[in-house]
Amino acid sequence: MTRTRRPPRVLLLSWLALLALLATTVTIAYIPLGVANTVIAIIIAAVKGAIVAAIFMELRERNPLTVTFAGAGFFWLGIMLWLALADYVTRPNFPPVMKWGL
């Protein structure tokens, strides 16, 4: 049982890309960019998630139905976040303590 089997190129590349993205997101986190820090962290996490979903979970080879099922969860999560946060962002007395100091 030899160990010379090589992983498929696309899997290897995406693995390395994921590790690289991990490194970048950590380094960027230490650069003080204010709000941008959060936005970049989430974008990089989304890219890493997309790589895992598209390649590891073979979504790119699947029919549109499977892709819609995969996206449905995130879309509905988006609805929940969007409308609930609309309340939190515009509520006059939340939080009782501090409001706008970003």
Which positions lie near other proteins, rule CB under 8 A?
Answer: 1, 5, 7-8, 11-12, 14-15, 18-19, 22, 25-26, 29-34, 37-38, 41-42, 44-45, 48-49, 52-53, 55-57, 62, 65-66, 69-70, 72-74, 76-77, 79-81, 83-102
b/e string for 27-41 if b means 16 or more Cβ within 10 A? eeeeeeeeeeeeebe
Nearest to 14 by CA among 49, 42, 40: 49
- Distance between CA atoms of 100 and 102, rounded to whole angstroms? 6
CB of 18 to other proteins, least distance (A): 5
CB of 82 to other proteins, least distance (A): 9
